[in-house]
Structures are given as structure tokens and as C-alpha cells.
A = this chain, B = another copy of it.
Amino acid sequence: MKIGVFDSGLGGLLIARSIIRELPEYDCLYLGDTARVPYGTRSKETIYKFTHEAVDYLFRHDCELIIVACNTASADALRRIQQEYLPAHYPDRRVLGVLIPAAEAAVDLVSKKGIKDPVFGVLATQATIHSGAFLREITKLKPDAKIVQQAAPLLVPLIEMGGMKYARPIVDEYVQPLRDTGVTTLILGCTHYPVLRSMIAEALPGVDIVDQNDVVPGKLRNYLERHPEIDAPIARRGRHVFQVTDYTHNSEEFARMLFPEGIELESIPGLG
């Protein structure tokens, strides 16, 4: 079986790497829509259109299960893809997001640590925050949950363009409202943010941080175990292919920062 991993850009390489480490026997096809990144500042309609095109591409390239690693796409497009596109076109295949695993992990962590009066924080793109998807998923699991959301629109460009040395005052401003409301448990709700994890942790001492890279691969293994009908790795050691819709020197450098062990990016024509 081939697992597709889709992200708007290259941040999802972190999740792809974690999945490959957890499930090395599966084929994996990564797709980063680098010609149109970022998604997090775009409208819901545009995010749906782009995500739909990406999912379609991965299915046409024989992925049986797709992880939408992009939080923005998970928040704004996933339910509609699962409810409309999938039943009509690929009723036997699956598309999973990264929001529910993170929400589950945050709620589990609070209960495991016995935190009284937990306050969940969500740091994400503008589109993800605006969608209210994290609110919905956390509240489903814990109806009385207290949740504070914060959009952090400058972090993706800072991370992608080597501006991390300027990030501290910006991170400080973004986390201030979270600190003020006594957040106990913070979800990093964008694939890029784990790159700044230690800076965010320093700005929020004592706060538990939920990183999707730690959570998603284990949840995916569980999912495959519960669904043996789709669990059929075709090789001992999977084949791992990483494709981007636009290949630049920048994307090469960013990929090398995330995959210091080396990675080969293949360029494909745009999806639109």
C-alpha cells in the first residue's frame, strides 16, 4: 500500500519523516504544493479547490490512504472531501487529517496528567483559526473545555525564508494572550511550528506542547491495525518519493534543514 502525505509546502516533510520512521515498510508519496504555498492566508473556497486537486493527484498516483498533513487544509477542506468527493470517486480509499489526532492527544495528556482546570491553547494559521476546526474537535472530546486560539501569520514566512533569528519578539507577542489566560496545554497547529518548538516552549514555561510529529504516526499505526482491510504493505522497505509543484533553491535548502540526512525532491507540473 502507498500512503500519500500532502502539505501546502514543505513543513509536512516533518510529519512524512515521522511516518516513514514509524511505518518504514509502506510506500510513501509526499506532495508539497510549493507553487501555491502558503494556504493559511487564503479563503476557504481556494483552500478547498487546491486541496481537492492535491488529493485527486495522490489518488491518481495510487495512494490508498492520504494524510492531509497541512492543518489549514485539514481545517478547511477535509470534511467536505470526506463527505462529498470520497464517496463519489474513491469510496474504498481514505483521507485523514492531523487536527483530530492533535486534539485527542491534547485531551489525553490533560487527563493522564490529571490537570485541574486545563486551558487548551491553539497556535495556527489565520485560516485554521478562522475555521474553528480545533475548537470543534476539542469540544467534541471534552465539551466543557476552555480553549484559547491564536493566529500566528508571520511564523510560516519567517521559518521558510531563514528569518528565524527575528522570530523571538513575534513569538512573544503571539503567545502573550495564551499566557494571560493561563494556558496549560498548547497544540502546535501548523506543520511549520515544530521548527520553533523550543522558542515557543521558552515563551510558555511549564506548558505542555502537543507536536503533531510525535502524535500522527502512532495514531496512523493504530488506524491501520483497526482497519486490516487496507493494511497491506507491498514491500519490506517502502519506496519514498517526495514531489513538489515548484522546485527552487529555497525549497532545496528548506528541505535540507528538515531532512539533514538528505532528501531528493522531484519537480512535477502544477496541479491547477
Contacts of A248 in B (CB 8 A): 41-43
Determine, out of A115-123, A157-165, A222-230, the stretch whose residues face the partner at the interface: A157-165
Cβ-based interface call for A169 (8 A): yes
In the complex, the answer to whether A170 meets B166 with C-beta atoms within 8 Å is yes
Cβ-based interface call for A256 (8 A): no
Cβ-based interface call for A272 (8 A): yes
| A81, chain B: closest CB distance, angstroms | 18
Query: In chain B, what residue has the closest Cβ to A47?
Result: B246
Contacts of A197 in B (CB 8 A): none
In the complex, the answer to whether B250 meets A46 with C-beta atoms within 8 Å is no
Query: In chain B, what residue has the closest Cβ to A247?
Result: B43
| A234, chain B: closest CB distance, angstroms | 33
Cβ-based interface call for A238 (8 A): no
In the complex, the answer to whether B166 meets A46 with C-beta atoms within 8 Å is no
Cβ-based interface call for A239 (8 A): no
In whole angstroms, what is the CA distance A170 to B166 when docked?
Answer: 8
Cβ-based interface call for A263 (8 A): no
Contacts of A237 in B (CB 8 A): none
In whole angstroms, what is the CA distance A135 to B137 when docked?
Answer: 53
Q: Mark A90-115, 1 if CB is under 8 A from B, else 0.
A: 00000000000000000000000000
Cβ-based interface call for A49 (8 A): yes
Contacts of A42 in B (CB 8 A): 34-35, 246, 248
Cβ-based interface call for A154 (8 A): yes
| A160, chain B: closest CB distance, angstroms | 8
In whole angstroms, what is the CA distance A187 to B49 when docked?
Answer: 38
> Can you give 13 A-B contacts (C-beta < 8 A)?
A34-B42, A35-B36, A35-B46, A41-B161, A41-B250, A42-B246, A43-B247, A45-B246, A153-B161, A154-B163, A157-B157, A166-B170, A271-B272
